[in-house]
Amino acid sequence: MAAGGGSGGHVTPVVAVLRELRKIEPDTEVRFWVDHAFEKQARTVMGGYDDSIRVDTIVSGKLRRYHHLKWWQQLMKFRTITLPNIIDAVKVGVGFVQCLCKLIAWRPDVVFTKGGYVCLPVGLAAHALRIPLVIHDSDAHPGLTNRVLARWADAIGTGAPLKFYPYPREISQYVGVPIMEDFVPYSDERRRDVKVKLGFDPTRPLVVVTGGGLGARRINDAVVAMLPQLTKYTNVILITGAQQYSDIRARVPNDTSKVHIHDFISSGLVDMLGAADIVVARAGATTILELAALAKPTILVPNGYLTGGHQLKNAAVYEEKGAVKVIDELQLDDHPEVLVQAIEALLADRAAMARMGAAFLTFAHPHAARDMAEMIVRTAKRK
């Protein structure tokens, strides 16, 4: 049984692991649990891999903590932080009971949690029933759910070197972030062919902008504001996320020869990213490692408000090695041209782009999904 949620970055690695798991143990019965908020996205992603996998929803809740606010400032925001946290604490309790019932009814040999707040009631229920638990932590800054579950885990896989984690070394292994096997560097010829397939002039640079499955309002608004300048010399694919798609679709001229607008990409994303000359993205761990495997020149715009500033820390690891360019999203409110200037500077220096791509590729772990699948199988067999 696998669980994950909170974003596509928690779902797509599970799919990659399940692919490898089925290669090792073809007759394995798998179910995937996700929270209600991300059910549609999870079913789309999971169904694209194998529509026979049963996807169930459970009740779950998260602890709202914001990196830019001190603890006492957060307590002052009763209606927007404190009260929702109280309600979600109750949801976690309900989800725990729900998971107990589900696990008793269908007793799996092992539970695999990929991260996200939905995994807390799942992991606690697995521990209560003495079902072996395997977790994976993608971020360089461990999340609260994984820190809690780690004390009862039988095996732990990490997306970054073990020095970034407080987990017991005897059960932990640095495997990288599981990604689909399709994420490999594209040749110039293949990139040209994909651009033509997408309906673009292959002689013009392609910039792909994505804020992840949930979208990123500041990035979206900056791109829309600067589209006239961007499209003078590039083609653009903007993946807005579902929440802002209708608004942006109404604001952007329908010019499919230069600009493509999507709310979410369930299939074909690897080709879009592979064909891009430059990608602009958030700094989620899965996104970063997918782009690293593609050796893609990348501009990261981390979300600085998330708990623990984990996207800021993720981005800093790669920026330090010259593998990415990082932009502070707060600059985009008043100065959206900063993003265009960064894109222009990269496109003007193809040698620098090549160096970035090569440095980024050194972080890729192409066998991470297989290593996680083997860890799950070993844990189940030890039972």
Residue spans of alpha helices (H) in the chain: 8-24, 39-49, 71-76, 83-105, 119-128, 144-149, 188-198, 217-230, 242-251, 269-275, 285-293, 310-320, 331-334, 337-347, 350-361, 368-382
- Return all residues near 147 (Cβ < 8 A) that are at least 6 apart: 166
Q: Is 243 annotated as a binding residue?
A: no
Q: Is 172 annotated as a binding residue?
A: no
- The per-residue DSSP string of 219-254 comes to HHHHHHHHHHHHTTT-EEEEE--HHHHHHHHHHS--
Closest CA to 3 of 103, 139, 140: 103
Q: Which residue has the tokens 């952007």?
A: 252
Sheet with 278-281: strands ordered across: 259-262, 235-239, 206-210, 278-281, 298-300, 325-326
Q: Is 8 annotated as a binding residue?
A: yes
Q: Is 212 annotated as a binding residue?
A: no
Residue 329 CA to residue 10 CA, distance in Å, equals 23
Report yes or no: 89 and 61 within 8 Å, Cβ to Cβ: yes
Tokens of residue 150, six digits: 């780690």
Residue 348 CA to residue 345 CA, distance in Å, equals 5
**Binding site residues, as ranges?**
7-9, 311
**Binding site residues for UDP-N-acetyl-alpha-D-glucosamine, as ranges?**
7-9, 311
